[in-house]
Chain A
Amino acid sequence: MELDSLYQEVILDHYKHPLNKELKSQFTAQVHHVNPSCGDEITLNVTIENQIVTSVSWDGVGCSISQASTSIASDLMIGKNLDQALVIVESFSDLMSSKGTKTGDEEILEDGVALAGVSKFPARIKCALLGWMAFKDAAIQSSKN
């Protein structure tokens, strides 16, 4: 079924058991992003020290895609250096705009490749990108602070 390409098992797992979904009180930047067309909201905290992402924590409400995607992104970013992290974000954005033509590089995106199917559903791409864009924004703000 077409739906299975969207809702891979790993996505449903992250949705039901999201990682890092508890805001840490310590952070170097905090952002709040919304998806005004559907009302999804997310608050995301990052800590970046010496160019290393030491912590990503978040809280929010949204659909399975946005929640799972944020969970995957947060897990992926922790421990990376800032430049690496931003390359991963770019790789994911590229996958999302592929209209179903790409499967994603598992070396770079790990669980993130499970979201490849989202790129075939234009209305859901923004859901998948919410957490990643929040992270990117937070990372840039943190490096300015």
Chain B
Amino acid sequence: MKPMFSPAEIRKDFPIFSKVMRGDNRLVYLDSGATSQKPFQVLDAERKFYETSNAAVHRGAHLLAEEASIAYEGARQVLAYFLNAELDEVIFTKSATESINALAYSFGNSDANSRFSLKPGDRIVVSELEHHANLIPWQQLAKRTGAELAWFSIGSDGRLDQSEIDSLINEKTKIVAITHQSNVLGTIVPLEKIVKHAHSVGAVVVLDACQSAPHFAIDVKTLGVDFLAFSGHKALGPTGIGILWGRSEYLNQMEPFLTGGSMIETATMTEAKWAQSPKRFEAGVPNMAQAIGFAAAINYLNNLGMENVAKHEKDLTAYALDKFKDLDKVKLIGPKDNVDRGSVISFTIEGIHPHDVGQVLDQYGVAVRTGHHCAWPLMRKLGLGGTTRASFYVYNDEADVDVLIHSILKAQKYFKV
């Protein structure tokens, strides 16, 4: 039998939790939505690669190059399995931001007769929930090509309004780029209807899975989307590594974004022919140690079990939502019920600016995110300058939520509100 899910045990794997924070407090890390902490299994995997197998992958005839290539391709296998994807569909990038830009530039570089090319009159659909990483690349692609940018609105409950889907995703729509889970509100976007609509008009669906893939099981075949991006550093992995997943039949028709070494099949002084995916999109010596660290992080999550991770976070969110109900002059921003929502709690405190809230919380060892969370249009829509956001992960427990609540009360006392 598997042991009970124990954040206290899990924290022992994360060296950072031995750090003493301001006010001689322990670290209560509630900012995993920005980046997660790393277990020693990940740090060790990176270090071991550098110490024993470091060489440029897919080049060189020596033992190290061989071992490095095996380790790097092994990491791809771990990621492919994690997403239930095919091996040639998993591309390592440096970040989710790069993954989405790679798509946007690839589409923008397409021949006029390609299904991915955009022209004036075509449409790209996003939503008001988007993080800048899944908004600005599409906004700028629209500008460069003359295509029109349209978007799903959200309701006051922080949920996506799908009532206009018929007119929004119309026959002119080429791309629907949408977040799986809002980094600000925690809203999980139901995809079924969107995917069905997009496909019925011949559009492709790009999913920003940065806030979902680290927190619950993702199966690209079930989701039915066409492209997906997420980053390693939000999933216990290193910085500098991300994933772009796409259907192989699409990837092999697409223009690369970065060109250079390793991504060509043949090259002359004047011409080049692209390799098949994934190499087609992995120009240059890749971030090998980071890919291997990323795989170690995924293995760590697999050992915990993504179902268990999801259940733990759901239970913890329920506990926190319940505690927040008792707070006076504290407003929860986003879905108030625990349905189709992730482990992110955004809130405002009457009379205290989020930055000041964060500052007082920091005095109690509580690390939260404050501000507009790289989702400025969403903030404007909500009529807010910013929020304070607590986001949970595998190493958080009810005691952490209790410290958060206690610190909020202290902040209110400090600012006399």
Contacts and interface: CB of A to CB of B under 8 A. Distances in A.
B363 A3 contact: yes
Interface in A61-79: 61-65, 67
B37 to A, nearest CB: 19
Contacts of B363: 1-3
A65 B352 CA distance: 11
Contacts of B13: none
A145 interface: no
Contacts of B356: 7, 63-65
A7 B372 contact: no
Interface in A52-111: 61-65, 67
Contacts of A40: 355, 385
A6 interface: yes
A33 B354 CA distance: 19
Nearest to B22: A2
Interface string B332-365: 0000000000000000000011111001100100
B379 A39 contact: yes
Interface string B390-417: 0000000000000000000000001110
A121 B359 CA distance: 10
Q: Which of B22, B23, B354, B386 has the most CB of A within 10 A?
A: B386
B386 A6 contact: no
A63 B23 contact: no
Contacts of B137: none
A127 interface: yes
A3 B411 CA distance: 11
B182 interface: no
Interface string B16-33: 000000110000000000
A31 to B, nearest CB: 19
B353 A63 contact: yes
A124 interface: yes
A37 interface: yes
Contacts of B23: 1-2
A140 interface: no
Interface residues of B, number: 20
B202 interface: no
Secondary structure of the A contact surface, majority rule: mixed
A114 B416 CA distance: 19
A64 B23 CA distance: 21
Interface in B364-397: 370-372, 376, 379, 385-386
A42 to B, nearest CB: 12
Nearest to B410: A3
Interface in B81-117: none
A67 B360 CA distance: 17
A123 to B, nearest CB: 8
Contacts of A1: 23, 363
A65 to B, nearest CB: 7
Given A1-B23, A7-B414, A62-B385, A39 B359 contact: no
A39 to B, nearest CB: 4
A37 B353 contact: no
Contact of A39 (B22, B385, B414, B416): B385
B188 to A, nearest CB: 25
Contacts of B22: 2
A63 B348 CA distance: 13
A6 B414 CA distance: 12
A2 B365 CA distance: 13
B415 A12 contact: yes
Contact of B386 (A12, A39, A121, A127): A39
Q: Which of B354, B359, B414, B415 has the most CB of A within 10 A?
A: B359
A121 B356 CA distance: 12
A62 B384 CA distance: 11
Interface in A32-46: 37-41
Given A12-B415, A38-B386, A62-B353, A6 B372 contact: no
Contacts of B360: 3
B376 A39 contact: yes
Given A62-B353, A63-B354, 14 more contacts: A1-B363, A2-B23, A2-B363, A3-B360, A3-B363, A7-B356, A12-B415, A38-B371, A39-B371, A39-B372, A39-B376, A39-B385, A40-B385, A41-B385
